[in-house]
């Protein structure tokens, strides 16, 4: 029996042929990679290839090629672009609202040094995000002032903390909401030290339930839009227009968290509340998310009375939850630019979508079927958006998700449904290529 050579010993141990780290790092192609990624990342890829050679997975002669291939294929970030073929417009798992071309250009412009808190004319410090604030107020004249923070939950946290402190937040039992991933808004509110004063019942809360709860220790009255579910049947809720008077008489702010991000009424979603109407009805503060139906970046936007907004802006927590320059730039560009992609997808003409889908179905040997789209992101709950999809073999769903481009579809009724509502028209050719590649991959595995 021949004794196996030991590492570092004499003999024919192939591991002695593994290229040294310094030799690999000196290779022109590998050295050039340092211009686009850190030395730590490059060295890590080199060590991983060497480890594979030591374990016998590859031969030492393949180490250099594997390192070059890994460096060439490595993206600058792990997030992968996907084509959203689910028909869900504000898809939380896919990053919610896709930004408009104008917003993307604004992100690029804001990536370096900017005048985010600097007045170039005077050389003095200025109000942070003044441009985004002006764009919000121009888009929603009903608001006296506006404040932007990093997301909707942060806006609610700041509002209840600044207004209630350790006092009471009055909230209907029918609005004790849990959103995605088990996140409960009542838990968020009480985490600050505020106390919830629950009023009414799950299905019926009357104006008297609110007014009976008001006292000097009440910090604010909160209305949470039940955006991701509906309670129907024997129900009752006090509208903002009825609550506003008693709250104003008691000098207690009325806060409405609408969530979905509509600044004005949307005819296609008549039951979805909007900021302008809530403010006209008497809400002191209205909270929305920037990355839902507004169509912009992740942001929490608070609009309303200047005096109440000022209380939030002065609170120490405002610093911790403020929006960064990239979000402010993208938000301003979204509001001042063309109709964002989410609203284009929402307002898609079913007849034109049918024609486009039918043409693509013929090219990929699929079948045209009716398919209702959805708003998603907690907006327009239970509201179908009539449309169409391409029915494909169910085994294509996985290779489509993992292909290049990654195409995310819906699996339903034993079929893979490809909905073009949220796919830009200019991407149709890539969708065809992706389906053909996925079908070839599926056949290869079979």
User: Could you report the per-residue pLDDT of 79-103, keeping only the tens digit for each?
Assistant: 999 999 999 999 999 999 999 999 9
* Tens digit of each residue's pLDDT (9 = 90 or more) over 183-210: 899 999 999 899 999 999 999 999 999 9
Cβ neighbour number for residue 306 with a 10 Å cutoff: 10
Q: What is the mean pLDDT of residues 167-176?
A: 96
- Whole-number Å distance between alpha carbons of 224 and 70: 49
* Tens digit of each residue's pLDDT (9 = 90 or more) over 381-402: 889 999 999 999 999 999 999 9
Q: Is the pLDDT of residue 76 over 90?
A: no
Q: Is the pLDDT of residue 1 over 50?
A: no
pTM of the model: 0.88
- Whole-number Å distance between alpha carbons of 264 and 142: 10
Higher pLDDT, residue 60 or 230: 60
Q: Where residue 72 falls among pLDDT bands split at 50, 70, 90?
A: confident
Q: Is the pLDDT of residue 313 over 60?
A: yes
- Whole-number Å distance between alpha carbons of 158 and 165: 10
* Tens digit of each residue's pLDDT (9 = 90 or more) over 102-127: 999 999 999 999 999 999 999 999 99
The pairs formed by 11-15 with CB atoms below 8 angstroms and a separation of 24 or more are: 14/59, 14/60, 15/53, 15/54, 15/60
What's the whole-number average pLDDT of the chain?
93
Give the total residue count for the chain: 446
Q: What is the mean pLDDT of residues 285-301?
A: 97
Q: Is the pLDDT of residue 411 over 50?
A: yes
Picking from 355, 361, 362, 420, the residue whose alpha carbon sits closest to that of residue 391 is: 361
Q: What is the mean pLDDT of residues 35-64?
A: 92
């Amino acid at each position: 029996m021949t004794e196996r050579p030991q590492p570092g010993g004499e003999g024919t141990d192939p591991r002695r042929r593994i290229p040294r780290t310094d030799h690999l790092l000196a290779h022109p192609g590998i050295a050039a990679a340092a211009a686009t990624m850190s030395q730590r990342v490059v060295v890590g890829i080199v060590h991983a290839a060497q480890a594979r050679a030591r374990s016998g997975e590859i031969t030492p002669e393949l180490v250099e090629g594997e390192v070059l291939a890994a460096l060439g294929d490595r993206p600058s970030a792990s997030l992968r672009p996907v084509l959203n073929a689910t028909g869900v417009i504000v898809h939380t798992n896919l990053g919610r609202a896709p930004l408009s071309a104008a917003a993307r250009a604004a992100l690029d412009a804001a990536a370096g040094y900017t005048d985010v808190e600097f007045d170039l004319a005077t050389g003095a410090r200025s109000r942070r995000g003044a441009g985004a604030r002006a764009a919000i107020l121009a888009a929603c004249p009903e608001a006296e002032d506006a404040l932007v923070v990093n997301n909707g939950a942060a806006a609610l946290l700041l509002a209840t903390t600044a207004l209630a402190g350790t006092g009471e937040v009055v909230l209907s039992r029918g609005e004790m909401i849990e959103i995605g991933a088990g996140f409960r808004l009542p838990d968020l509110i009480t985490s600050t030290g505020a106390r919830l004063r629950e009023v009414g019942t799950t299905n019926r809360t009357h104006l008297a339930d609110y007014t009976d709860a008001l006292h000097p220790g009440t910090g604010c009255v909160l209305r949470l839009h039940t955006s991701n579910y509906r309670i129907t049947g024997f129900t009752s809720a006090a509208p903002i227009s009825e609550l506003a008077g008693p709250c104003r008489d008691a000098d207690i702010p009325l806060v409405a968290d609408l969530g979905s991000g509509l600044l004005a009424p949307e005819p296609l979603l008549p039951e979805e509340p909007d900021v302008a109407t809530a403010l006209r009805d008497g809400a002191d503060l209205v909270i929305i998310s920037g990355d839902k139906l507004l169509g912009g970046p992740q942001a929490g936007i608070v609009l309303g009375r200047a005096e109440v907004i000022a209380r939030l802006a002065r609170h120490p927590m405002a610093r911790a939850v403020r929006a960064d320059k990239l979000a402010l730039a993208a938000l301003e560009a979204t509001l001042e630019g063309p109709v964002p992609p989410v609203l284009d997808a929402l307002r898609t003409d079913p007849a034109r979508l049918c024609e486009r889908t039918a043409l693509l179905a013929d090219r990929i040997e699929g079948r045209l079927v009716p398919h209702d789209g959805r708003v998603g992101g907690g907006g327009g709950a239970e509201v179908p958006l009539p449309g169409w999809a391409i029915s494909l073999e169910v085994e294509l769903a996985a290779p489509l998700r993992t292909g290049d481009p990654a195409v995310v579809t819906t699996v339903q009724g034993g079929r893979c449904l490809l909905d073009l509502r949220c796919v830009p028209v200019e991407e149709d050719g890539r969708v065809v290529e992706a389906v053909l590649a996925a079908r070839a991959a599926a056949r290869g595995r079979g």
